[in-house]
Amino acid sequence: MNTLGFAGSIKRWGSILGTMLAFNLVFFSADCKAQHTPPKAEKTIGETNSIENVPEDSSKARFDLPSIVRYGLKNNPNLKITAKNIDIETYGMDTAIAEMMPKVDGGGGVTRYRYETPIEPLVIDPPLGPGTEFPPFRKTVWSTALTFKLPLFRGGRLYRNMNVAQMRNAIAHDNYKMSRQDLVYNLSSVYYKIEQLEKLLVSNDATVAQLEAHRKNVDLFLKTGTAPKLDLLKTEVELAHAIENWLLVKNNLASSYELLKVFMGMDDMSRDISITTEKSENKSYPSLEESMTKAFSQRPDYKAVAKKRLIAEERVKIAQGKRLPDISAIGQYGGKAGNDTGFREDWYYGLMLTVPILDGGLIKSEINKEKVELEKVKEEDRSLKLSITRDVRDAHLNIANATERIDTAEKAIESARESLRVERLKYETGAGTTTDVIDAQTALSRAEADYYQALFDKAAAIAYLKKAIGEDEYDEEVQK
């Protein structure tokens, strides 16, 4: 076979394969339309893409952003778990207080001795004589007593433990506030994502409708002999691709609603809900300098790490206090009896002093351990400062970037709409090609997708900035 023949053969086979691929996509398009035909938007065929909100189904439970957040703050299980930590640390404070209170214990028992033993201590004043009274002796002795102990001094550990318990309780409150702000941010982000996807779904629906209208025009021109078969195949391929995009957006929207219900703590996951979109408005936010100031004064996690540092300092002093003596007031009142005798009472009271002398280096090890913990917390504090600075700066950069993209995308949409209108007119008058129409339609869809993405990015960035500076606009009471 000569070179020209071989090239011609390759060209023919390429044409055949291209035609087969195009027909497969046509059948895929027809199958998609049969199974997943998108709802028709309320507009005439050929109208440019709409960016209005999706009409709400009146049978669905509708939520706006504030109601979503309030529902989540009340029902989210993870937030409730965090709130329980406050109760736990409150009981920890009660425990620290109880360590400072007197302890009274009651007890009793029976003891069997090999030899007879006195029921009460031998107290004999000399000289011994006929009138000396001896206590009864028994092998089986019954006893009962109340013991008393009051810690007076433990090297400062008593009140330092109380301070630690109070700060741990305050940290639990800070952690709850941080979890609450995280939840508000997550709920807001999913809400804005749903808002974006619903608008994008309308845009894709309009794209499908316009491509269907264009396909009808191409089919009409094909029947009259003024358009080639390839134009119809190209249109069918692009229509199949548009339907595929519509299905992807629809599935992502359903997944986002499921995620929203999880964050809201909605037990009935089969419940059908929808959102009420907000009116587009320029939301105010603090400047970079003001944001930094607010972040270091409001962030719950920054407040918590400051308290952790105080706790670590107190724990070092607690460990050092173990080298000091323990002093306690003690006392006991009780009595003993045999099987055939009445109870003989006895009592004592006094002070007890305990001084550590040799512990194998245990106290020293505890002190060194707590000092290392203190250094660790100091580095954690430094790391958090850097993280907060980065969070605030990133939020401001993302807001500025999204704002610029919104302005650019608005101009791109306006230009793409006009371009599509011109290309459709040119094609209908025979001066244009179907490729130009498809390219113009693709450019419009991409411009609208970029616009909605920029709107979402800006709204999410502002929500993240509020979280980064520790701002909570939903000032409900803590739900436990």
Residue 446 has a pLDDT of 93
Rg (C-alpha) for the chain, rounded Å, is 40
The model's pTM is: 0.78
Nearest to 335 by CA among 325, 324, 343, 327: 343
Residue 132 has a pLDDT of 66
Residue 9 has a pLDDT of 40
Taking the CA atoms of residue 114, residue 118, residue 120 and residue 122 in that order, the dihedral angle to the nearest 10 degrees is -130
Taking the CA atoms of residue 453, residue 454, residue 460 and residue 466 in that order, the dihedral angle to the nearest 10 degrees is 180
CA distances from 207 to 32, 176, 202, 368 (A): 15, 46, 9, 69
Residue 339 has a pLDDT of 80
CB 236 within 8 A of CB 215: yes
Residue 475 has a pLDDT of 63
Nearest to 366 by CA among 324, 327, 323: 323
Q: Are strands 103-118 and 137-153 parallel, antiparallel or unpaired?
A: antiparallel
CB 135 within 8 A of CB 118: yes
- The series of mean pLDDT values per 10 residues for the chain, 480 residues long, is 38 40 39 43 35 46 92 94 95 93 93 87 67 78 93 91 95 95 96 95 93 88 84 90 94 95 92 84 85 94 95 95 94 88 87 92 94 95 96 96 94 94 88 88 93 94 95 61
